[in-house]
Structure 1
Amino acid sequence: MHSAIESLQGQPFFVRRWGDPALPRLLLLHGFPEYGGAWAEIASHLSQHFHCIAPDQRGYGQSWAPEGVENYAASSLIGDMVALIGAEQGPVTVFGHDWGAAIAYGLAMFHPHLVDRLIIANGVHPVPFQRALASGGEQSAASQYIPWLRQPGVEAELSANGFEKLQALFATHMDMSWLSGARLQAYKAEWARPGRLQAMVNWYRASPLQVAKPGQPIAMPALPLARLTVPQPHLLLWGDGDTALLPETTLGLEEFAPQLTRITIAGCDHWLHHQKPKDLAEAILNWNP
């Protein structure tokens, strides 16, 4: 692995790279509350076939973390990765998980010339996700952590007692045996960097997603449906035990992704890239759209 601070739009971003730079490029976009190092396991399986590029996204790890919720609007977060891909001189395959999937979808939809293929692991397209959040059903109930995270001062609660609540937040009913020992200490070191926890939560605060209360559906906000199509070949990898993102969050995805391939990874959950990295890598390498 090679890692370095790289300048994107004049700001410092920490980027990890695995594999020969001459290989096809694979941009790996992490979610909450991870960082670029979260991709180390899957990169070990893919770096013979791809030049894997894993940035700490804005507000995370060792990358730029400006103050102010307005700095975490989706357009700005996507713009960071537009700059990174632009520096690579040509389209790349983009692989996103969780919040990284939101940025990956944004790249594919709004900057299609920069993305040749789209891979998502337990992440969601904005339209099916907003539909599920607005329904007042099971996904609305599962996503009540979103309005909780948007509360002022929640960072102090998350960091108390060695980040006890932050760990509990993303461990609910899921297998977290992968996050222990030296790896857990590495995550805590990233979370403890000054201003990072606030910046990470600002991704939620800046998001326009509306979350209904259970049993109280809300009207769907207006969305630019015609602009939200994924024209590239699209692979969706899904851990079937995810309790944070339920299957309903991908209902109707084919409407927006006509070249969609779905693969279920059995026996894992939202953290499938840690639990079964070899299975994910094999699915990616065997995908021939």
Structure 2
Amino acid sequence: MEDFLAPANGIRLHSVAQGAADAPLMLFVHGFPEFWYCWHAQLDEFGKDYRAVAFDLRGHNLSDKPQGVEAYRIKPLLEDLRQLIEYLRAGQDDKTCVLVAHDWGGAIAWTFAALYPQYVNKLVIINAPHTVPFARALAHDPTQQAASAYMNFFRLDKAERVLRENGFDRLLKMFNATASGQCALKDEDVPRYREAWSQPGALACALNLYRASPLYPPTPDDPGAAALRLDPAALTVRVATLVIWGEADTALGTVLLEGLDELVPDLRIERMAGASHWVIHEQPQQVNAAIRAFLAPG
């Protein structure tokens, strides 16, 4: 694997690549509380015939860490992605990629594919809701509001201190939200995650994703997502899209898939029974097989 810092949008994004530099680009975008390494099984598989690249989002692990909540709003996140693709495809006629994303990475990728379809050949989303149905559910669905209550905690000033306690115990317990109750991380990978969370400023920056986002459940003092007025036409994704969904996700219900075909005309949904939000850890080979089938010609 190649390890490098990619210049993008005035910062450096730590990236790890596998595969020939002139092969078609497949770009992987992680979620919270993860970093590039969550995609290692996909890099091994797709590096065989793609330029497979996973990177740390701004503020995470070894990427640069701009200060302030404003630096983590959607516009700079989208521009990071656009400029990263341009950098990775420098000297190539083909500026497109297969974009694969999970959780927070999926939130970024949905919007990126809608606004910059010229950069996305195909889109793969894993347990990450499209912005429009998610905003609607956060505003009006009590079940989703309860499942997403953690978002309001992550927005609090004390969140970083609490999450750091006992060796990041609460962050690790997030990975226990599986059908079996077993941690989705392998024992040997836990030190990697602790090291990533321990990078100076990394946890505060990661939490800024939640503080900067208008998507969170309403409270008596704050309308949250209920204040949003989204234009579904502007957020319609017109590239071929595969959605992989672990059906045992306790934070994101399958109700978020309802009506998705109205926002994504070329849509395939692959439901994975018995898999949770952490399906890329629990069923990496099944995830790879689903992506392979989606990318196959014809």
* TM-score normalized with structure 2 length: 0.91
Instruction: Quote how far apart the aligned CAs of 1:138 are.
Output: 1.1
Distance 1:54 1:168 in 2: 24
Instruction: Describe the shift of the 1:259–1:190 C-alpha distance in structure 2 as closer, same or farther (beyond 3 A).
Output: same
After TM superposition, the runs of 4+ consecutive aligned structure 1 residues lying more than 6 A away are none
Alignment of 1:75-154 (within 5 A): 75-87=75-87, 88-89=89-90, 90-154=95-159
Instruction: Quote how far apart the aligned CAs of 1:52 are.
Output: 0.7
Partner of 2:252: 245
Whichever residue aligns with residue 199 of structure 1, its letter is C
Partner of 2:66: 66
Deviations 1:172-223 (A, max 9, x none): 3554434243310010000001110000000000001141369x99846211
* Aligned Cα root-mean-square deviation (Å): 1.9
Whichever residue aligns with residue 127 of structure 1, its letter is V
Distance 1:237 1:281 in 2: 10
Alignment of 1:102-251 (within 5 A): 102-174=107-179, 175-212=181-218, 219=226, 221-251=228-258
Instruction: Quote how far apart the aligned CAs of 1:6 are.
Output: 1.7
Instruction: Describe the shift of the 1:27–1:182 C-alpha distance in structure 2 as closer, same or farther (beyond 3 A).
Output: same
Instruction: Describe the shift of the 1:7–1:218 C-alpha distance in structure 2 as closer, same or farther (beyond 3 A).
Output: closer
Deviations 1:114-146 (A, max 9, x none): 111110011111001111111142111100000
Distance 1:94 1:41 in 2: 16
Distance 1:198 1:67 in 2: 9
Distance 1:135 1:213 in 2: 12
**Equivalences, count:** 288
Instruction: Describe the shift of the 1:190–1:67 C-alpha distance in structure 2 as closer, same or farther (beyond 3 A).
Output: same
Partner of 1:286: 293
Partner of 2:274: 267
Instruction: Describe the shift of the 1:182–1:94 C-alpha distance in structure 2 as closer, same or farther (beyond 3 A).
Output: same
Whichever residue aligns with residue 171 of structure 2, its letter is L
Instruction: Judge conservation of contact 1:78–1:103 (CA < 8 Å) in 2.
Output: yes
Instruction: Judge conservation of contact 2:178–2:277 (CA < 8 Å) in 1.
Output: no
Whichever residue aligns with residue 225 of structure 1, its letter is P
Instruction: Judge conservation of contact 1:141–1:213 (CA < 8 Å) in 2.
Output: no
Partner of 1:33: 33
* TM-score normalized with structure 1 length: 0.94
Distance 2:177 2:39 in 1: 22
Gaps of 5+ in 2: none
Instruction: Quote how far apart the aligned CAs of 1:15 are.
Output: 0.4
Instruction: Describe the shift of the 1:114–1:161 C-alpha distance in structure 2 as closer, same or farther (beyond 3 A).
Output: same
